[in-house]
Structure 1
Amino acid sequence: MSAAALPTHHAVTRPASRAATGESLDPGHLTPPFPGSWPFDLAAYQLDLWQRSVRYLDTLRERANNMLEHERAGKPPLLDFDYETVLDGRHLPRPANYALLRITRVGDDCLEDCLDPVKPPVIIVDPRAGHGPGIGGFKRDSEVGMALHEGHPVYFVIFFPEPLPGQTLEDVLHVLRRFVETVAERHPDRPPVLYGNCQAGWAIALLSADCEGLVGPAVLNGSPLSYWSGDSGVNPMRLAGGLLGGAWLTHLLADLGGGRFDGAHLAANFESLKPANTLWQKDYQLFADIDGQRERFLEFERWWTGFYALSKEEITAIVENLFVGNQLERGELQVCPGCSVDLRRIRNPLVIFASGGDNITPPHQALNWIPAVYPSTEALKAAGQRIVYLLNPHVGHLGIFVSSKVARLEHRAILESVGELNDLAPGLYEMCIDNPTGDPDCHKPQFQVRFEERRVEDLDYPDQAPAFDRVRALSEHNVALYETFVGPWVRLAVNPWLAETLRQLHPARTSRLMFSERFSPWMSGVKWLADITEPARAPLDDTNPFRQWEAFMSGSIASTLTLAGTTRDSLCEMGFHGFYGRAWWSDNE
């Protein structure tokens, strides 16, 4: 489904207000309501507030309707490009709910005349982490768009809303390998470049490290490979397994879903990381600049609210072996009987793109596996491996895949430098982009790319393994207890009707669908008011003192929620280390 199919509205073009950008206001700089003008300022503000309120509610109504429409359509991938299906993984001898697409057209332009026959194909794999596929190509300035702009044939790996019965992580990896082999056969002597976003990045690492390996360069964007790493007080998600007693809760939620794990649970986890943004800032930014933010909000929410399921076999293997067990960097992960994944077997060049502003996959989790696998720079060079990392100082987790500015600079720089990766001598390098113009749309030689050699020993992250080893031991114990005494009764009690009822009643769905006319008939009146209000809409200037006080109050609410979230994270950190600390466990081990 193309983003062009989204409903359009006439938006008033104006500079983004400080309220819309989340900038808080200093009360000392607020414009005082002058005695002679305040009645007019108040009247203008009340009119603007009423108009924004109507349009805000109408936007929530349209989001709910988009969510229902997307579900009725079968949740197709939200790509802003035409495509054809090359291979459907559900029909392979060892099936999984994945499919390989080839991008065929951008708007009215066919791609055949624009592609460079010398350049290798690019395979983009989106993350299967609760949401549907398309985030790598749901707008023109995206990973797909940049690869096409650079002349690469582009393939996109999607997945379907429901897993196949009993689908395992091994099944998924077999299908992904078949996709890579298919693309390689279609483009002889040009090994494909693999792009893996978040979860898809570690899936590509698994393919690169298995017994057969891969040949073409792999780009891992915001992909965790070292799951126990992170800064205290900054990356609380890595503590969740210990605070919840391990992976037993994952087993329970999958059983309550009738053998399927609802992606809405994962979305709720992400949203809980930043309560200020989830509970206030995201909605207030829309409310404050409803004319400028409406279409962007609806476009992103169409993807964010498309929840996809995983099989119990998949999600429990992921949680137990990776997030709680951290077996990947240790070389203990077995994807099939007798076949362990050893990251030292990776021979294709790796490009690791991480960001200091990513609180879900911080640079620690993206890079700390390197010294765990290669104890020294000499060991990395002796293995003949080339690892390049690229750091963005501030963009968030989704910004690595979604930000237009990042796509137009960092991803363009990566693609334009693919040919240089194979020419690098074995070792560790940092990819540095010198862009004196500051223009993300510039090309070489307007910006320069340097590969500066680094030492593995410089990747010095705190070792927190003892506490997390205890988490893994407790998790294995709790899972055994659950599967022995509780799981059989849960599976006996849950039928398809109950599983679907629990799925529909998930707060991530009900909090959005409650604004649809289907569930709230009075929202039809909101649409009628919005249709009347839109032609007469005249955005209020930021100099209005009442609008300034509104922005100031919003900043105060956001600061309070941020403090609450920071306090919660600090308490969780203290509780984690207090329970799994060495002093308490030393007497019990």
Structure 2
Amino acid sequence: MPTEAHRTHHAIKQPAGRTAPNETLEAGHLASQLTAAWPFELAAYQLDLWHRSVRYLDTLRERANNMLEHERAGKPPLLDFDYETILDGRRLARPANYALLRITRVGDDCLEDCLDARNPPVMIVDPRAGHGPGIGGFKRDSEVGMALHEGHPVYFVMFFPDPLPGQTLEDVLHVLRRFVETVAARHPGQPPVLYGNCQAGWAIALLSADCEGLVGPAVLNGSPLSYWSGESGVNPMRLAGGLLGGAWLTHLLADLGDGRFDGAHLATNFESLKPANTLWQKDYQLFADIDGQRERFLDFERWWTGFYALSKEEITAIVENLFVGNQLERGELRVCPGCTVDLRRIRNPLMIFASSGDNITPPHQALNWIPTVYPSTAALKAAGQRIIYLLNTHVGHLGIFVSSKIARLEHRAILESVGELNDLAPGLYEMRIDNPTGDPDCHKPQFQVRFEERRVEDLDYPDQAPAFDRVRALSEHNVAFYETFIGPWVRLAVNPWMAETLRQLHPARTSRLMFSERFAPWMTGVKWLADVTEPARELLDDDNPCRQWEARVSESIATTLTIAGTARDSLFEMGFLSLYGWGLPSEDERRR
């Protein structure tokens, strides 16, 4: 099932070593314009380039200072809403570093007059995937904002930067269950709607399996439950466990952190997926439109550069049991002695929101667990379960949570349809949205939502389980070897001072903090230059030939890095298949 990006890439592919005639003519035209522009157009462009360069460096300086300020403040959740703490999970009998918040105010507007007593509460859980909480309420047009707009009481589950010593997944699930019980007690007769983003989605699935009758519909946004699924050449992240030899490296990094796993490692993994964006496009978009993109860039980087830690017990259980072991969909995940999670125990309706443009959690990983748990449509109906999925064709992973356009359409439509989910007959459905307006103030019937029945048998994704079973077996051997012969010596050598030094020297931090005046005193001069030159700046016309030439050079660099990333992913795929894929059917055999 190739994505739109894939199809587009193949549709425009040019033969190697040849240039399209129109591109040659356009390049020649720009070259002649550039020559004719001398000296006035070129002088104007050089002045604009100087101003943008100063402003760009000043933006990086401010990003570094924001990062330091956020850390000094204790890394609070970056919510664009006022809130109060209802329950601090660190103070429970079985504690974990989570807290339950209630959204109390939007700007100057108190919520009590806006809430609809007929609507159930919504509890939003953000992922612990390297960054801090807030992605679900990052701005007004967000999951939190849309839930408030529809009149739902909104609760938000946040977490603190550091885990408690020895904190386990069982501890986390125990605290989350207490949060669900607390919200349910505050709203009798209205089971809360659970909203899980990314990695929080599987936590919501575990809660649903454990809290039968206590929770309402669960919405899983970009959430992986089938970790071995994916499309060859499109979703390389799922291969990382095999190429690294399993989960032993996770044990090593957690030991080097003195029992804590630095979230900066996870952020670096995400950034490596798209080298063109990480190494060039993100920064060039800021540089090219420094006035229009500066605040948006700084707002997002406040969240992106806030790295949170996980305990060794948590991260190793996640990697071994989910990413490498894929035990959740197979009913083999043990969160405590004698406690095995069975997704068939889930009785509340599940709404799954995924995107074909998501290369981190593609639809394969969001949906392929369904035919594993329910082999047929008849089995799903016999279990009395309702599973609904909504697919977007292009938005990326983070866009599912932070895009205003997605919040104003998909999330609004989901929230307005929550009451209908319980009324559906058991079965599998696809949610379709017709005639979208994009207006956050509109309601049904200005847009229509349909639930079209589907068959479990039609969820036909390639099966690569034998290869990943070999990865799991190798991982278990490597982890046993590490913990027996290497781990004890690493833990003996590492102390808190060394762990903190390694944390501060992580490239994800140093590459940003190097622009702060605290580490680079000359950046004070950049701030002075930005303040002096900004009042005298004049915007350059987009039709300036020098500026057009700059854009073409940027496109060439981005294309080169994209090709390099694609080639790297292809090599990874070939290496994985050569190591673990023997005996698997080829693509042609699978099609036949």
In the superposition, the TM-score normalised over structure 1's length comes to 0.94
Partner of 2:236: 236
Residues 229 and 368, structure 1, Cα contact 8 Å, conserved in 2: yes
CA distance in 2, matches of 1:540, 1:177: 56
**What is the one-letter code of the residue matched to 1:547?**
R
Residues 225 and 369, structure 1, Cα contact 8 Å, conserved in 2: yes
Q: Aligned pair in 2 of structure 1 residues 455, 36: CA closer, same or farther (>3 Å)? A: closer
Partner of 1:148: 148
Deviation at 1:212, TM superposition (A): 4.9
RMSD of the TM alignment (CA)? 1.3
**What is the one-letter code of the residue matched to 1:163?**
P
**What is the one-letter code of the residue matched to 2:98?**
Y
CA distance in 1, matches of 2:471, 2:92: 38
More deviation, 427-436/309-318: 427-436
Is 2:130 aligned against 1:134?
no
Q: Aligned pair in 2 of structure 1 residues 541, 84: CA closer, same or farther (>3 Å)? A: same
Q: Tell me the alpha carbon deviations over residues 481-512 of structure 1, each in whole angstroms, 9 at most, x when there is no partner.
A: 00000000000000011000000000000000
Q: Tell me the alpha carbon deviations over residues 443-472 of structure 1, each in whole angstroms, 9 at most, x when there is no partner.
A: 211100000000000000000000000000
Is 2:220 aligned against 1:220?
yes
Partner of 1:449: 449
Is 2:152 aligned against 1:170?
no
CA distance in 1, matches of 2:562, 2:300: 23
More deviation, 205-214/171-180: 205-214
CA distance in 1, matches of 2:353, 2:24: 40
Q: Aligned pair in 2 of structure 1 residues 436, 246: CA closer, same or farther (>3 Å)? A: closer
Deviation at 1:437, TM superposition (A): 4.1
Deviation at 1:28, TM superposition (A): 3.6
Q: Tell me the alpha carbon deviations over residues 60-82 of structure 1, each in whole angstroms, 9 at most, x when there is no partner.
A: 00000000000000000000100
Is 2:563 aligned against 1:568?
no
CA distance in 2, matches of 1:228, 1:378: 25
CA distance in 2, matches of 1:498, 1:304: 25
Deviation at 1:538, TM superposition (A): 1.7
Partner of 2:3: none
Q: Tell me the alpha carbon deviations over residues 367-393 of structure 1, each in whole angstroms, 9 at most, x when there is no partner.
A: 000000000000000000000000010
Partner of 1:159: 159
Deviation at 1:48, TM superposition (A): 0.4
SS at match of 2:135: coil
Partner of 1:331: 331
CA distance in 2, matches of 1:252, 1:372: 33
Residues 211 and 339, structure 1, Cα contact 8 Å, conserved in 2: no
Is 2:303 aligned against 1:303?
yes
SS at match of 2:216: coil
**What is the one-letter code of the residue matched to 2:509?**
R
Partner of 1:318: 318
Partner of 1:463: 463
Is 2:485 aligned against 1:485?
yes
Q: Aligned pair in 2 of structure 1 residues 34, 385: CA closer, same or farther (>3 Å)? A: closer
Residues 405 and 440, structure 1, Cα contact 8 Å, conserved in 2: no
Partner of 2:206: 206
Is 2:553 aligned against 1:557?
no
CA distance in 1, matches of 2:564, 2:214: 46
SS at match of 2:328: helix
CA distance in 1, matches of 2:561, 2:467: 29
CA distance in 1, matches of 2:35, 2:164: 69
Deviation at 1:130, TM superposition (A): 0.2
Is 2:413 aligned against 1:419?
no
Residues 408 and 439, structure 2, Cα contact 8 Å, conserved in 1: no
Partner of 1:64: 64
Deviation at 1:339, TM superposition (A): 1.0
Q: Aligned pair in 2 of structure 1 residues 423, 211: CA closer, same or farther (>3 Å)? A: closer
Residues 357 and 394, structure 1, Cα contact 8 Å, conserved in 2: yes
Deviation at 1:583, TM superposition (A): 5.2
CA distance in 1, matches of 2:396, 2:311: 28
Is 2:253 aligned against 1:253?
yes
Residues 210 and 340, structure 1, Cα contact 8 Å, conserved in 2: no
CA distance in 1, matches of 2:56, 2:194: 40
Partner of 1:186: 186
Residues 207 and 214, structure 1, Cα contact 8 Å, conserved in 2: no
**What is the one-letter code of the residue matched to 2:398?**
L
Deviation at 1:192, TM superposition (A): 0.5
Partner of 1:280: 280
Deviation at 1:38, TM superposition (A): 2.6
SS at match of 2:137: coil
1:344-423 correspondence to structure 2 within 5 Å: 344-423=344-423
Deviation at 1:39, TM superposition (A): 1.0
Deviation at 1:36, TM superposition (A): 5.6
SS at match of 1:310: strand
Residues 215 and 347, structure 1, Cα contact 8 Å, conserved in 2: no
**What is the one-letter code of the residue matched to 1:275?**
P
Is 2:430 aligned against 1:430?
yes
SS at match of 1:327: coil
**What is the one-letter code of the residue matched to 2:53?**
S
Deviation at 1:439, TM superposition (A): 4.8
Residues 513 and 519, structure 1, Cα contact 8 Å, conserved in 2: yes
Deviation at 1:537, TM superposition (A): 2.0
Deviation at 1:396, TM superposition (A): 0.3
Query: Where in structure 1 are there 5+ consecutive unaligned residues?
Result: 1-24, 585-589
**What is the one-letter code of the residue matched to 1:73?**
A
**What is the one-letter code of the residue matched to 1:276?**
A
Aligned length: 560
Q: Tell me the alpha carbon deviations over residues 373-422 of structure 1, each in whole angstroms, 9 at most, x when there is no partner.
A: 00000000000000000001000000000000000110000000000000
**What is the one-letter code of the residue matched to 2:232?**
S
